[in-house]
Structure 1
Amino acid sequence: MRLPAWGLALRLLRSDWRSGELYLLSAALVLTVAAITAVGFFTDRIERAMQRHGGELIAADLAIDSSRPIPDAFTDEAAARGLTVARTLTFRSVVLAGDDSQLVQVKAVDDAYPLRGEMRLKADLDAAEEPAGTPPPPLAAWVEPRLLYVLGADVGAGIDLGEARFTAEKLIAYEPDRGGNFFQIAPRVMIRLDDVPATGLVTDASRVRHRLLLAGPREAIADYAEWAEPLLPAAAGLIDAREARPEFAAAVDRASRFLHLAALTTLLVAGAAIALASRRLVDRQTDAVAVMRCLGAPRHLLTRIFAIRLLTFGLLASLVGCLVGWLGQRGLAALLAQWFEGPLPAASIQPVLVGIGTGLVALAGFALPPLLQLADVPPLKVIRRDLGPPRVSVAFAGLGAAGALALMILWQAGDFELAWKLLLGVVAAVAALVALGALMVWLAGLAAARTRGIWRLGLAGLARRPAAAILQITGFGLGILALLLLAVVRVDLLSSWQQTLPEGAPNRFLINIQPHETDGLADWLAARNIDGAGIFPMIRGRLTGIGERDIEPDDYADPRAQRLAAREFNLSYALDMQPDNTVAAGRWWTGDDPEPQFSVEEGIAETLGIGLGDRLRFQVAGEDVTAPVTNLRQVQWDSFNVNFFVIGTPGLLGDQPATYITSFYLPESREALVPELLRAFPSVTLIDVGALLEQVRGIIEQGIRAVEYVFLFTLAAGLLVMYAGIQASLAVRRAEHGVLRTLGANRRQLLRGLLVEFTAAGLLAGLTASIFAEATGYVLARQLFDLPFALNPWLWLFGVLGSGVAIGLAGTLGTYRALVRPPLAALRAGG
């Protein structure tokens, strides 16, 4: 029986395609798969590119950092996996230039450094930057400009480091992984790794940091990290770009969430189009199935034939969708090529498999339930044209669609929080659309009995087909919701995201400011019209206790928690909370002299298991400082303002030894002030984060353009679902209009009735979609992206009135061809 079933299924599939029965369904499915694969291809490539940008923060894709020499087994394993490796060594020492000395941070690098990013140097302060193709020559040193200011030396001067004498050959303009060591207060001196033995400074007892840098394909890096993590010595840890700087991590995380949101929105709306197109296909297939039943085809054979047709059609349409998605991502990559340094990494085959799987799941969930009902068409349908298609089980169709929807969202989201909130929002929106649609149909039936003329004709059109009308209104609502979400995300959320890093964001940090220098520095900045963000105290302290328990790194399984427990924190104190901080739990302290208490950033609190009311114990300058946690804060890290993980009250930390930190924006045209600043305050360390700032700003711009492009698929899906909603009732309308024309109704009356019906449906669908678009925008902004949100009155104007006008006109014009057919032809066709 298998061969006849397959053969008949393929012949019927070919016949359906030639007759145009599958055009709408194939368009919906191709669009669904194209959106998923385009996003899959591109997000795969863009995340690799972002990882490459992030790799600049650690000069690699992954790093092993240790206070002890890293065993050769880790290098050997990396080589066996085809990864590129480099080694660095950092330690503090003192350099001498004549009678002057200065504490420095020495960094020794091998020939492969850096694996990601590029060193840039200057021959002198006034020279242009130039890339460094190789590490320093033997017994040559590259130094930060401020070291020469402090020593009163020039480029080319000799400096003594341990037992070796080096030449200060060039100035360091940019060091890729300097951002990951933000609070190093000593000037940098970079030498060759081969020259370290000549200094005599590194012995088994020396305090040094060893780092093994690794670079390679993302999958290989992930596999290596998984292999290495359980084997790391106690003094070693893994570092990746996301942990290097929270500002960078926040930008990448938001970009990824926006892209997944765009893909999921397209998927949801295209799913509605598949459901509507499937319903239309069922209506068109009933006659053919009735004939097959008359010829003796059993129910199980028809079910098998429909399943084979659906599977074959799904595979073919999914493959076409994958091709369209691949072309789409190439267009996106070409559009954004100028925003990336070098070509984007190649895409993998995985998005194709995901696209085909998504297509089949979507087709099975949205289209299979109504199509399987065709097997129940009675043979009598050949004679009794009024029997119509079989009644679809609402529970069966609903469970199939809901199951497919949940599976696709959880599969595609890449973020469980985003997935379940979006799923909950969609279920609520669909339920509201169905409920309001049913209410409208009921009210339309009441109103039709009390009105006359075209109003009665239009409103009665809704009441005559309640199930079809509710399905149509729901489809319209989902289409409009997609278009409004496009506006919300495109205009409101993306603009808010871009404003988190406005022009003029701080690009210079000053650290190691001594207490007696704060007033002078503030006056110096004010005299030159440089607006600072304030000068904040910074106190070094190590967390030693939470509540009644002592804290040790081994208490945590999470490597990041282990590193946090092992290192010193940068604490601060303040009476007022900074503007880019918000209280997530608890209350900020008030009054001029509040009781001793701590405020903790919510992310680090979650990592270390800190809750409200817990008493924290820090060791500061050899003393224990304890206080309860009274609030948890959300910190906008990508604002590039000075921020701290832990803040205390002035009465708690005000008497502790502290240095100070500030940030400010310095335009490129005023770079000449840097030497003046360093000469006026030689002990202050200036950190230039301009390059890192541009990286984060570039990620935001790239992410915005990527989301805008991906939402073009959502726009197409929204238009398609509205078209499918119009076409879903076209066959029935032909028969109705044939009867009405026979009874004396003219085309103008029928056309006005259609306008009333579709405009009413559009107004209700637009009202519901506007409500849920605003609600969804609020949830996305506040709970997923940590962005401000404001109500948009234009959304309601275009959402309600615009959808009423648009759907009224589109529905009327879309069904106009049903009016131009002679009544006899419509009656003979039976719809």
Structure 2
Amino acid sequence: MPASFLQIIRRDIRSSELLALLVALTLSVAALSSVSFLADRMQRAFQFDARQLLAADLLLVSDQPLPERFIQEVKARQLNSAQTIVFPSMATVGTQSKLASLKAVSSTYPLRGSLEVLPSQANLTPPSGSVWVDPAMLNALQAKVGDQMLLGDKTFLIGGILQQELDRGAGFMNFAPRVMMSLDDLQSTGLIGLGSRVTYRLLLAGSDQAIVDYEKWAERWIESEGLRGLRIETLENAQPVMRKTLERAERFLSLVALLTAMVAAVAIALSARRYVLKQADVCAVMKCLGASQKTILVNQIKVLGALCLSAAVMGAAIAYGVQEVLIRILGNLVFTNLPALSLWPLAWSVLFSSSLLIGFAGPPLFSLVMISPVRLIRKELGALNIKVLWVALLGLITCLTLIAIAAQDLKLAFWVAASFGLAVTLFALLSWCVLRILNFLFSKWGSKSFALRFAFTAQARRSGFAVMQITALGIALMALLLILLLRQDLLATWQGNIPVDAPNRFMINIQEDQKQNIAQSLIDAGVSTPSFSPMVRARLIEVNGKAVGPNDYVEENARRLVDREFNLSYTEQLPDGNRITAGKWIEGNAPQVSLEVGIAKTLKLKLGDQTTFELAGEKVTAPITSLRKLDWSSMKVNFFVVMPPAMLAGMPQSWITSYYQSPAIEGLDYRLAQSYPNLTIVDVATSLRQIQDVLDRLSSVLGLLFAFTIVAAILVLVAAIAATQDERFRSAALLKAVGASRHLLRKIALAELAIIGILAGALAGLAAGAAAWALGRFVLEIEFHAFAQSLAMGIGFGLLACLLAGFRFQRRIQTATAMECLREI
């Protein structure tokens, strides 16, 4: 029996249908498992290296100096501690200046893990008078180890290059390169002043129980004292921003992989049906020779088992290679040292391949058991009893289950499933209606082209097959177009919204007595007259007379917004690029607030709500009188909260401005940093280039998974064309028998393929355009108008794909005789 089974497998694998089934299944496993492998390694990196990601067991983070009470309690409990202070500042070497993320650390830092510095240092932290810097900083400043770096009022020796700093977070969370110095040297720089964006951290380490006890004490103290802007980070919520960003990237990659898997599932269903039709006669012969249903069922189970195991092994192998490539592409956007692979993604691959195979290919294959021997003599009963409703139901349940498991996000799973199901339903319904209408029009008014009339008649007569082909191809093309539009058109639209002469410098921490001289310096350097905007630091503490805090919100973004300080501003004129969407702009000196619509939505604020801000120990209360839409693409200074001058003019404040600095102007940043050490000058052009580098890397990752989608679409296309080959051979045999020429057969075939390609492409183009518009409008907040391009690309791709895929099949039909065509059926 084993020998005969191997012979059966060797024979069946030669069939293009079973081979297509194997390839489609392998592709599905590879697409989802590659993302699963990568996600698994990153998640376990959080678990394995959580303490190193904190550089401690517990972390207190604040935007104000930590109360001395917390440090006293640390000493009383005999915990190990360290302190860090992080803020942006200008760093200068020679005539080159660049914004740096300055980190001052105490001598005991880090408490967990270690820094990697070149050349190797005996010290755990930079010695006094020395700094360690990122390699990117050396490149930007054209500097080297041993050079002198100016930070504020003091000059430091560049003593080492930071190779690894695990507690910093993901590379794309801090675009400014790191400069690390001793905490003892910070005061001498004179860098921290009014308006400085400073983050204070207290790091703790000790026994697990001691850390838990301190955490509980700290939580009670923070709550009892009503301390705002102070949060606790533990092993469970280590690097929350990094974790959230990686989760978003994982969901996005999973979305692409899911689209690929769903497209491949269509190919699996089509290939399985085609394979069943081919095997029907074989099973009928076996029954004539005495084979029982059990024997046929066992054989089919073995075929399914062999397919499942092969697809799981090959898919897992491909996925392993792909995730290694993904890690190389992402580079320092993920952890430097990822843990080894676990067996869970491999188990997931087997589970996924089994579910897909059973859900989409199992029912058609198992229906072979029910084949009657009568099929051998009654070919007209070629339609198999495949239990269409059961197949559809089981396939849908399998789809939903796999989407939920793979996405690990119910919302994402719901939208993917709903979109997929809605697209299939609409494509099938619309294609059926269009075919009926076109057939009616051609039959009523006729056409001079016999080939065209015959093609429409044939499509209407085989409407079920035609609808299946158009729907399957449309789904595949929609996935392709959506990813293409996502990668190119939406990104191009975003880039196109940024004016060429948009401001590329932001200058913050400007003091009142410095404005006039700074303005003159910019004008003398050839920069247009700057416009200064006041900036007041404040915290939202009450809404409608009720105290608000992070615990009043569920969404993480809202919790962080209400926990941090806002930058408020005041003006009488509506700023450029601001548009009132609700209410009226500020009038007079009465208390009033103009709020940005995004912040209002996140914090669930509306017109008329009374807001109370605390600034410099005073409370300011005012109602929300207008909501504004900001033009972020203008790159000008924008504020979430704006009030009348009478409310804020007398408060402690700094100033901010933005301007365009031509590349031809050299050394201006350096001269300003030397003259005004307190200034922070942000080179947005450099940041945009760094952002673009991140986008390019993610685009490359997306492109790699996009290749999976292309292969899946090709499989769908070939399977859809092959699904009607028996009917095509039958029609060709009849036409050849009555004297049809090769030229006529070619014209009929081209007409049929063109109808399928145009309809599928048009549906895919419209659906992809609508999806891209919705994504741009509600997610990316940009306008998308490339509907015509999407429709044209869909029709072009559909027509080209059908003609190319059908070419091989039509050549066989045209070169075969009528008898040979009948034998192919």
The TM tier, using the shorter chain, reads 0.7 to 0.9
Task: Give yes or no for contact 1:136–1:142 (8 Å, CA) kept in 2.
Answer: no
The alpha carbon displacement at 1:356 in A equals: 3.1
Counterpart for residue 455 of structure 2: 458
1:572 and 2:566 equivalent?
no
Aligned residue type for 2:25: L
Counterpart for residue 764 of structure 1: 759
The alpha carbon displacement at 1:302 in A equals: 4.7
Counterpart for residue 322 of structure 2: 328
Counterpart for residue 432 of structure 1: 426
The more displaced of 314-323 and 614-623 is: 614-623
> How far apart, in 2, do the equivalents of 1:624 and 1:50 lie?
41
The Cα offsets for residues 418-456 of structure 1, whole Å up to 9 and x where unpaired, read as 443333332232122101221244245433584562223
1:289 and 2:283 equivalent?
yes
Aligned residue type for 1:408: L
* Alignment equivalent of 1:475, drawn from 472, 477, 480: 472
1:23 and 2:19 equivalent?
yes
The more displaced of 379-388 and 648-657 is: 648-657
* Alignment equivalent of 1:40, drawn from 28, 33, 36: 36
The more displaced of 674-683 and 272-281 is: 674-683
Aligned residue type for 1:32: S
Aligned residue type for 1:28: A
- What's the RMSD between the two structures over aligned residues? 5.4
The alpha carbon displacement at 1:759 in A equals: 0.7
Report matched runs for 1:131-280 at 5 Å.
Answer: 134=123, 140=129, 169-170=156-157, 190-191=181-182, 209-212=200-203, 233-234=219-220, 235=222, 236-238=231-233, 255-256=249-250, 258-280=252-274
Instruction: Give unmatched runs, 5+ long, in structure 2.
Output: 88-101, 138-146, 188-197, 223-230
The alpha carbon displacement at 1:392 in A equals: 3.5
> How far apart, in 2, do the equivalents of 1:155 and 1:272 lie?
64
What is the aligned residue count? 757
Counterpart for residue 820 of structure 1: 815
> How far apart, in 2, do the equivalents of 1:119 and 1:532 lie?
44
Counterpart for residue 541 of structure 1: 538
Distance 1:679 1:119, change over 3 A: farther
Distance 1:531 1:483, change over 3 A: farther
The alpha carbon displacement at 1:661 in A equals: 2.2
The Cα offsets for residues 392-440 of structure 1, whole Å up to 9 and x where unpaired, read as 3443232233223323333333554444333333223212210122124
* Alignment equivalent of 1:728, drawn from 702, 723, 728: 723
Task: Give yes or no for contact 2:264–2:712 (8 Å, CA) kept in 1.
Answer: yes
Aligned residue type for 2:537: R
* Alignment equivalent of 1:776, drawn from 771, 780, 791: 771
> How far apart, in 1, do the equivalents of 2:45 and 2:528 lie?
34
Aligned residue type for 1:429: A
The alpha carbon displacement at 1:381 in A equals: 0.7
SS in 1 for 2:106: strand
> How far apart, in 2, do the equivalents of 1:106 and 1:335 lie?
32
The alpha carbon displacement at 1:237 in A equals: 1.0
The Cα offsets for residues 448-504 of structure 1, whole Å up to 9 and x where unpaired, read as 584562223222221232211111111221232233224312321243466689999
Distance 1:636 1:262, change over 3 A: farther
Counterpart for residue 192 of structure 2: none
> How far apart, in 1, do the equivalents of 2:660 and 2:111 lie?
31
> How far apart, in 2, do the equivalents of 1:576 and 1:411 lie?
52
Distance 1:232 1:24, change over 3 A: farther
Distance 1:711 1:137, change over 3 A: closer
Aligned residue type for 2:508: I
Counterpart for residue 373 of structure 1: 367
The Cα offsets for residues 178-225 of structure 1, whole Å up to 9 and x where unpaired, read as 999x99xxxx994368999xxxxxxxxxx99553289xxxxxx9xx99
What percent identity do the matched residue pairs reach? Answer: 31
Task: Give yes or no for contact 1:537–1:572 (8 Å, CA) kept in 2.
Answer: yes
1:485 and 2:482 equivalent?
yes
> How far apart, in 2, do the equivalents of 1:266 and 1:228 lie?
49
The Cα offsets for residues 493-545 of structure 1, whole Å up to 9 and x where unpaired, read as 24346668999987764333223433443343233234698533221223221
The alpha carbon displacement at 1:800 in A equals: 1.8
1:396 and 2:390 equivalent?
yes
* Alignment equivalent of 2:358, drawn from 361, 364, 384: 364
> How far apart, in 2, do the equivalents of 1:142 and 1:476 lie?
60
The more displaced of 788-797 and 343-352 is: 343-352
The alpha carbon displacement at 1:667 in A equals: 7.8
Aligned residue type for 1:770: G
TM-score under structure 1 normalisation?
Answer: 0.75
The alpha carbon displacement at 1:774 in A equals: 0.6
Counterpart for residue 655 of structure 2: 660
TM-score under structure 2 normalisation?
Answer: 0.76
> How far apart, in 2, do the equivalents of 1:56 and 1:677 lie?
38
Distance 1:136 1:477, change over 3 A: closer
SS in 2 for 1:16: helix
The alpha carbon displacement at 1:805 in A equals: 4.5
* Alignment equivalent of 2:308, drawn from 303, 308, 314: 314
Distance 1:754 1:210, change over 3 A: closer
Distance 1:545 1:724, change over 3 A: same
Distance 1:472 1:626, change over 3 A: same
The alpha carbon displacement at 1:284 in A equals: 0.9
The alpha carbon displacement at 1:546 in A equals: 1.6
Distance 1:607 1:791, change over 3 A: closer
Task: Give yes or no for contact 1:50–1:699 (8 Å, CA) kept in 2.
Answer: no
Distance 1:133 1:618, change over 3 A: farther
Task: Give yes or no for contact 1:56–1:117 (8 Å, CA) kept in 2.
Answer: no
The alpha carbon displacement at 1:711 in A equals: 0.8
> How far apart, in 2, do the equivalents of 1:502 and 1:418 lie?
34
Report matched runs for 1:104-115 at 5 Å.
Answer: 107-110=105-108, 112=110
SS in 2 for 1:587: strand
> How far apart, in 2, do the equivalents of 1:819 and 1:678 lie?
78
Report matched runs for 1:553-702 at 5 Å.
Answer: 567-574=564-571, 587=582, 589-590=584-585, 593=588, 596-600=591-595, 610=605, 613-629=608-624, 642-650=637-645, 652-663=647-658, 672-681=667-676, 684-686=679-681, 695-702=690-697
Counterpart for residue 143 of structure 2: none
Task: Give yes or no for contact 2:510–2:679 (8 Å, CA) kept in 1.
Answer: yes
> How far apart, in 2, do the equivalents of 1:316 and 1:785 lie?
41
Instruction: Give unmatched runs, 5+ long, in structure 1.
Output: 78-84, 93-103, 121-129, 146-153, 161-166, 197-206, 215-220
> How far apart, in 1, do the equivalents of 2:17 and 2:766 lie?
35
> How far apart, in 1, do the equivalents of 2:301 and 2:736 lie?
40
Report matched runs for 1:41-60 at 5 Å.
Answer: 41-42=37-38
1:405 and 2:399 equivalent?
yes
Task: Give yes or no for contact 2:18–2:272 (8 Å, CA) kept in 1.
Answer: no
> How far apart, in 1, do the equivalents of 2:116 and 2:529 lie?
30
Aligned residue type for 1:706: V
Distance 1:416 1:133, change over 3 A: farther
The Cα offsets for residues 263-296 of structure 1, whole Å up to 9 and x where unpaired, read as 2222222122112111211211211222344455
Task: Give yes or no for contact 1:333–1:344 (8 Å, CA) kept in 2.
Answer: no
The more displaced of 318-327 and 677-686 is: 677-686
Counterpart for residue 164 of structure 1: none
Task: Give yes or no for contact 1:276–1:728 (8 Å, CA) kept in 2.
Answer: yes
The Cα offsets for residues 31-77 of structure 1, whole Å up to 9 and x where unpaired, read as 2222222333456678999999x99998899954374249889x999
Aligned residue type for 1:810: A
> How far apart, in 2, do the equivalents of 1:510 and 1:213 lie?
35
The more displaced of 263-272 and 501-510 is: 501-510
* Alignment equivalent of 2:348, drawn from 347, 351, 354: 354
